[in-house]
Amino acid sequence: MYQSNTGEITGSEPTDSGQTCRRSGLKEATASSCCPASLSPALPYRSSEVHTPSSSHAPSQPGTASDGGFLEGQCRNGIRVGRPASSVLMSSSDTSTVRFPGGTPRLRRTPGSTGPTGTSVSSVSTISGASVIVAVVEGRGLARGEIGMASIDLKCPELILSQFADTGTYAKVITRLHILMPMEILMPDTASEKGKWTKLFKLITENFPGVNLTAIQRKYYNEKKGLEYIQQLCAPEFATVLMEVQTKYYCLATAAALLKYLEFIQSSFYAAKSLKVIFKGSEQTTMIDSASAANLELVVNNRDNRSDYTLLGVLNHTKTPGGARRLRSNILEPLLDVDTITTRLDAIQELLQNEELFFGLKNAIGHFLDIDRLLSVLVQIPKQETAQAAESKITHVIQLKHTLDLVPQLREVLKTCNTALLKAYSATLEDNRFDIILEQIKTVVNYDTTYLKGSLNLRTQKCYAVRPNINAFLDIARRVYTEIVDDIAGLVNKLGEKYGFPLRTSFSTTRGFFIQMKLDGVVLPEGKLPPEFIKVTKQKNSYGFTTADLIKMNGRCDEALREIFHMSYVVICQLLTTIHEHIHCLYKLSDTVSMLDMLLSLANACTISDYVRPEFTDTLAIKQGRHPILERMARQQPVSNNTYISEGSNFVIVTGPNMSGKSTYLKQVALCQIMAQIGSFVPAEYASFRIADQIFTRIGVDDDFETNSSTFMLEMKEISYIIHNASDRSLTIIDELGRGTSAEEGIGICHSVCEFLLGLKAFTLFATHFLELCQLESLYPNVENQHMEVEHTRNRDSGAEQVVYTYLLSRGCSDERQYGLRAAEITSLPPSIIQEAKLVACKVSQQLLAKRPADPETQRQRAVYHLATRLLQTARNSRLDPESLRMYLKGLKKQYEAELQTAAPARPTDTEEE
Ligand SMILES: Nc1ncnc2c1ncn2[C@@H]1O[C@H](COP(=O)(O)OP(=O)(O)OP(=O)(O)O)[C@@H](O)[C@H]1O
């Protein structure tokens, strides 16, 4: 078994016990060496006995005077913002509020608008429920552009570190932040120096308007402290990360600031050796900038951000929160490594072929809770022991037992699997720590205690969680509680008999026990409830109320419960101390469950529609590909199309009238590419892909009033971002470039952008209304013209011409003209205006034709250029034997002669001269 940096097991590496360090092959530290005495949880309600992660550890106890000055102030958009509800630990004297000087940068952004990087702010950042805090720092002086980042999800004890070099547009930082969906971003107070905002700071404020931005004194970005923190907190399983990060000063510095801040704002801290720490370089995943993610509607729909019509919506059939998170992050950052992708595809194929395995796994996975969240609470030690914290701890142990009870079922189902990835995950479940923990839990917790939904059910489970005969006082308190509950039932029965009403006992968290009565067939005396019934509420067809006696009984109930929880908590704390050294195996379980859930989800998607297993070659070839989201939206099956892009023909120009399906086709190709790179099957009959290191899209958006940018400026920013970043291995989708300016300028810009991109080996799909660009095909051998076919019919009644969209892609340039005017005819524009427009358009094109010299010489030169480039390319790539090469060149010569015939029929002898 082999664990990649993203924490994923890949089947491509040799397997071992699952505890081998990836880089060094070192065995994991033994449990005893990694579990210092300081781990023991505190005894109930005595905060003085709570242990800090380490007294010798440099970062000081949170919330103490030594924190003074740590938090320079909380600032967002230059305005001090409210501290999160939990951050009330520090007195005002400990903090000095500073604002980033220099005034507030203009913030005029909404979801879907585009930032100065040319990166649109997709509404990912606006998804509610964000729980990630990120610290960012940028190198200074010569190191400017070197970015360090550390993030932690408050619901998942995983510290993610990264360090990378970014360009002046900071696209990588912004994209990574979008993927993380932070609720708060920490930056050094020096982000605003001498009243000037750094560019990165400005961009972050602009791109994340709904996110809290907090200034931390630069001194807390301390790499030495960061390393100490990681050594102190990292769970032994992930200790190899130290080797990866120990010289990465910027990410270490952000780790220090982030962990210090978390200690400060949270009423708990992470136990030593408890955190999963991973380093995520940008080189292991495909870079999809946030504008492209928004354009392609990967996780958020552009029209309605609650809609499921996204790639995530199409593929998401996950059963657990962890599985859904994993799928989302994979879609936003697809894999680059073909071996890892292949092992996933093998696993999905096995799931599709083995029904028993598929349904068995689905059933087993569906009962798991959010393991990351559970781990997060288990590895945090509350600073203050309250009754509420005590009750929560009991819930967590019940959840832990519930989770571990599911492991044998999962093991059993996976026993029959054959593919490397499933086998590797099956092996992780053989870890005997799962059984050790469960056995230890069962020594104090009832065998049949399990996690149940519903507040009363869970309360009952908590009440009876600890086994009898462990604490005699606990047993007595529980008997008292049972008697009170019985008394409540008796009271309600008596009241029912007294008034002749169909009363029943109900429970809610806020009211405790109360009485409910259905109204069906009940006749109230004088139309009123008896005065004994108080605090009456009416819901649909039932009344809810209580009585003075019942309120008293609820009070006694609560008191008994407090006693029970208090005594149970003491037992639970002792239990937690004994199992704590083994708890890190839950990281493995979380990884296994989320991955299996994601694979099942991808397999599920194949059962809903006909998907095919993709191959990975040097060519992008899709037979009868379909747009996955359109397929889900449309009642009918969308029209499928073929795609062929290879190194020798890597630039496809797509033309066609408005509404003919150009944009849909372009997006379809990119979506299929992303699906393939996350290890999913794709909607096609056959599909082969070249791994793309980056996926860029420039797809027309409306004016961005928020940033006050014109359509044209946005286009230029986006295209310049692509030009600066595209590589030979990228996939680029450009739709309607240059529509924000005059036709001549638009054509000019498109032409020069095309020429630049033609110099790369990137695969490019370029949709345009400028038919002039189709001439590029005769200039460059690697250009291919394609168009969307339309048909024309006549309306039987009116005789008017009608356009029928076939959505079929064909070779060559579109020969449709004036389709804009024809599209306008369908709208409610007055016929007189359309008529006038037609006249003017006709005159303009006649004038243009008159001006354009029939210049055979230029065309001859183009043909020569065309021939020369093809020859050059053949010479470079040729693996042909001499005879085949001769035949090929002969063919080229003929083709060239034919081209000259069309260009200059008057000069048939040119070929000989050449
Ligand atoms: N392959 C297809 N099968 C079925 N319907 C399609 C297909 N492609 C596109 N459509 C439908 O046609 C509509 C228009 O498609 P699209 O926006 O891609 O056209 P377009 O050529 O890019 O138009 P414009 O040039 O005006 O931007 C889509 O909203 C979709 O409903």
Q: Is the pLDDT of residue 688 over 90?
A: yes
CB 255 within 8 A of CB 159: yes
Distance 621 CA to ligand 1 centre (A): 21
> Minimal CA–CA distance to 135: which of 307, 6, 251, 18?
251
Ligand 1, atom 8: closest residue by C-alpha:
661
Mean of all residue pLDDT scores within the chain = 78
Is beta strand 783-794 parallel, antiparallel or unpaired with respect to 651-655?
A: parallel
List, edge to edge, every strand of the sheet that includes 731-735: 287-288, 694-699, 731-735, 763-767, 651-655, 783-794, 801-811
CB 450 within 8 A of CB 368: no
Provide mean pLDDT across the span 895-912: 53
Q: Would you state the pLDDT for residue 558? A: 92
CB 121 within 8 A of CB 115: yes
> Minimal CA–CA distance to 727: which of 323, 282, 359?
282
Provide mean pLDDT across the span 838-844: 68
Q: Is the pLDDT of residue 23 over 50?
A: no
Residue 125 banded pLDDT, cuts 50, 70, 90:
very low
CB 491 within 8 A of CB 549: yes
User: Class of 472-578 per CATH?
Assistant: mainly alpha
State how far the Cα of 870 lies from the Cα of 290, in Å rounded to an integer.
37
Which 3 state secondary structure label does DSSP give 735? strand
Give the number of C-alpha atoms closer than 13 A to the C-alpha of residue 733, restricted to the C-beta side.
26
Provide mean pLDDT across the span 436-442: 94
Distance 659 CA to ligand 1 centre (A): 5
Q: Would you state the pLDDT for residue 4? A: 42
Which 3 state secondary structure label does DSSP give 502? coil
Q: Would you state the pLDDT for residue 484? A: 94
Q: Is the pLDDT of residue 211 over 80?
A: yes
Look up residue 707 and give its two tokens. Answer: 């940033």
Q: pLDDT tens digits for 59-115? A: 333 333 333 344 433 333 332 333 333 332 223 333 333 333 333 333 222 233 333
For a mutational test of ligand 1's pocket, the pick from 309, 636, 664, 788, i.e. the residue with the most ligand atoms closer than 8 A to its C-beta, is 664
CB 695 within 8 A of CB 333: no
Q: What is the DSSP letter of 40?
A: S
Distance 624 CA to ligand 1 centre (A): 16
Provide the strand spans (E) within 795-886.
801-811
Ligand 1, atom 1: closest residue by C-alpha:
639
Atom of ligand 1 nearest to the CA of 700: 27
CATH superfamily of 615-816: P-loop containing nucleotide triphosphate hydrolases (3.40.50.300)
> Minimal CA–CA distance to 312: which of 302, 323, 322, 297?
297
State how far the Cα of 437 lies from the Cα of 441, in Å rounded to an integer.
6
Q: Would you state the pLDDT for residue 21? A: 31
Q: Which residues pair with 148 in a beta bridge?
A: 137, 163
Distance 506 CA to ligand 1 centre (A): 55
Spell out a b/e string for 178-199, using b for 16 or more CB atoms within 10 Å of the CB, else e: bbbbbbbbbbbbbbbeeeebbe
Q: Which helix (H) or strand (E) holds 93?
A: none
User: Class of 60-282 per CATH?
Assistant: alpha beta
Q: pLDDT tens digits for 290-310? A: 888 988 999 988 777 767 899
Going 595 to 596 to 601 to 605, the CA torsion angle's sign is: positive
Q: Residue type for 389, please?
A: A
Give the number of C-alpha atoms closer than 13 A to the C-alpha of residue 341, restricted to the C-beta side.
28
Look up residue 132 and give its two tokens. Answer: 């990630």
Phi-psi label, residue 812: left if phi above 0, alpha if psi -120 to 50, beta otherwise? left
Q: Would you state the pLDDT for residue 166? A: 77
Weakest-pLDDT range from 253-267, 294-308, 408-422, 717-731: 294-308
Look up residue 537 and give its two tokens. Answer: 């509420």
Rounded to the nearest 10 degrees, what angle do helices 338-353 and 662-678 cross at?
90
Q: Is the pLDDT of residue 40 over 60?
A: no
Q: Would you state the pLDDT for residue 424? A: 95
Provide mean pLDDT across the span 803-810: 88
User: Class of 2-16+316-451+583-608 per CATH?
Assistant: mainly alpha
Q: pLDDT tens digits for 369-418? A: 999 889 888 887 776 777 788 888 999 999 999 999 999 999 999 998 99
Distance 313 CA to ligand 1 centre (A): 20
Q: Which of 318-332, 625-639, 736-750 has the highest mean pLDDT?
A: 318-332
Atom of ligand 1 nearest to the CA of 633: 31
Ligand 1, atom 15: closest residue by C-alpha:
661
Which 3 state secondary structure label does DSSP give 95? coil
Q: Which helix (H) or strand (E) holds 806?
A: strand 801-811
Q: Would you state the pLDDT for residue 122? A: 34
Q: Would you state the pLDDT for residue 814? A: 75
> Minimal CA–CA distance to 97: which of 83, 86, 85?
83
> How does DSSP assign 131-172, residue by residue?
-EEEEEEE--GGGTTEEEEEEEETTEEEEEEEEEE--TT-HH
Give ligand 1 pocket residues (Cβ under 6 A): 638-639, 656, 658-664, 807
Which 3 state secondary structure label does DSSP give 308? coil
Ligand 1, atom 30: closest residue by C-alpha:
661
> Minimal CA–CA distance to 577: which of 437, 471, 389?
437
Q: Is the pLDDT of residue 822 over 90?
A: no
Distance 805 CA to ligand 1 centre (A): 9
Give, in order, the Cα–Cα distances in Å from 800 to each of 513, 561, 805, 828, 829. Answer: 73, 80, 16, 15, 16
Distance 788 CA to ligand 1 centre (A): 10
For a mutational test of ligand 1's pocket, the pick from 624, 642, 659, i.e. the residue with the most ligand atoms closer than 8 A to its C-beta, is 659
Class of residue 830 by CB neighbours under 10 A (exposed 0-12, middle 13-18, buried 19+): exposed
Provide mean pLDDT across the span 751-775: 88
Is the confidence metric ipTM above 0.90 for this complex? Answer: yes
